[in-house]
Amino acid sequence: MLIRRPSDISPSEITPRRCYEGRREFIKLAAAGSVLGAAGLFARGAAAQEKTLGLQKLASVAKSALSTGEPPTAYKHVTSYNNYYEFGTEKDDPARYASRLKLRPWTVAVEGEVMKPRSFGIEELLKFPLEERVYRLRCVEAWSMVIPWIGFEFNRLARLVEPTSKAKFVEFVTALQPETMPGVRLPVLDWPYVEGLRIDEAMHPLTILCVGLYGEVLPNQNGAPVRLVVPWKYGFKSAKSIVRIRFVERQPKIAWEKANPSEYGFYSNVNPNVDHPRWSQSRERRIPDFFARRPTVIFNGYGERVAGLYAGMDLKKLY
């Protein structure tokens, strides 16, 4: 006997022939859609470069002819991948902990071999005529960025205190706040972090005291409220969160040189021909590239302006 049962599939559920025959078109359309979606993601990535932490904006910032035309590294990378050992030795430690840094009151004492020693409150420093300097930054660890710094030439400040003829070097002493800096509990470096330049290096128009980046005041992890930027030297020469500037007669002992003199020298000019003992300096990774495919250029590409400072010096010995 034949038992008639209703079909499991109701007619309304059956895909019409025209529709299922069009499935290839549908797949193509979906593929195109996802490609467009991916393109959209990339476009958003480009736009994200403009997105900042929304810190205090810096007004009336002039452009500079000393800026590079290379595209700046995304703000999120500039502010998330930092070496600021006072907050820890991992790259993300500064972004995580530097918000604790106590920024006010902040004064920078300028002293030593000068006619008019004095200190500058951070408010006074922010009143210097500010310029945007888009510089390449080359870290000794073989990565690099392009950063739109904001600041003024160090020589402007130096002229106000009138260095004497005994001022052969400039020493930069940075903040030491044990209560806000978890990294200084370990003797990783000799705290406070001290950097130094020869007087002619310090007075060079490329050397700036920096108070901001990407149109805003410096994020703490980048060395707020005031730091040095010396674009032809490895990044560690550009001291962060400066509290004291001393004009001195003798070459200062800098933090990394004290820590390991065979690996880090006073000059530390970017130089592809002088390897770090543990790695080659011939190439670099331009953040966020996967590949270290970019050849490193002597003096980080600023040789035309700074090579004269080192005429007759053996850069392999005075690294």
Partner 1 sequence: MQPSPKTIAALKAAVFALALVPLGELAAGALFFPDWLGANPGEFIDRATGRWTLRLLLITLCVTPLRAITGWNWLLRFRRMLGLFTFFYGVMHLSSYVTFRRVFDAEEIARDIVERPFMTVGFAALVLMIPLAATSTNAMVRRVGARRWQMLHRLVYLIAPLGVLHYWFMVKRDITQPAIYAAILAVLLGYRIVAGLAAAPSARKVSTGQTV
In the complex, what is the shortest distance from the CB of residue 76 to partner 1, in angstroms, rounded to a whole number? 8
Q: Is 186 in the site for partner 1 (CB under 8 A)?
A: yes
Six token digits for residue 55: 């810190």
Q: Which residues contact 183 (CB under 8 A, 6 or more apart)?
A: 84, 85, 86, 87, 88, 89, 93, 97
Q: How far is the CB of 8 from partner 1 (least distance, A)?
A: 36
Is there binding between residue 266 and partner 1 (CB under 8 A)? no
From candidates 49, 52, 55, 77, binder to partner 1 by CB under 8 A: 77
Q: Is 306 exposed, middle or buried (0-12, 13-18, 19+ CB in 10 A)?
A: buried
Site for partner 1 contains 85 (CB under 8 A): yes
Nearest approach, Cβ of 243 to partner 1 (angstroms)? 22
Answer yes or no whether residue 121 interacts with partner 1 by CB under 8 A: no
Asked if residue 182 binds partner 1 (CB under 8 A), the reply is no
Closer Cβ to partner 1, 82 or 207, answer by number: 82
> 67 pairs with which residues across the strands?
none
Find residue 303's DSSP bridge partners.
none
Task: Indicate whether 273 belongs to the interface with partner 1 (CB under 8 A).
Answer: no
Which of 179, 32, 147, 153 shows the shortest CA–CA distance to 78? 147
**Pick from 151, 167, 242: nearest CA to 202:** 167
Strands 242-248 and 107-112: parallel
Question: Applying CB under 8 A, which of residues 50, 70, 92, 249 lies at the interface with partner 1?
Answer: 92
Structure-token match 């929304």, residue found = 54
Measured from the CB atom, the residue of 105 and 187 that comes closer to partner 1 is 187
Phi and psi dihedrals of 212, rounded to 5?
-165, 175
Whose Cβ is closer to partner 1: residue 106's or residue 264's? Answer: 264
Beta bridge partner(s), residue 217: 212
* Residue 168 in the binding site for partner 1 (CB under 8 A): no
89 lines the binding site for partner 1 (CB under 8 A)? yes
Binding site for partner 1 (CB under 8 A): 76-77, 80-81, 85, 89, 91-92, 141, 143, 186, 188-189, 259-260, 277-280, 282-283, 285, 287-293
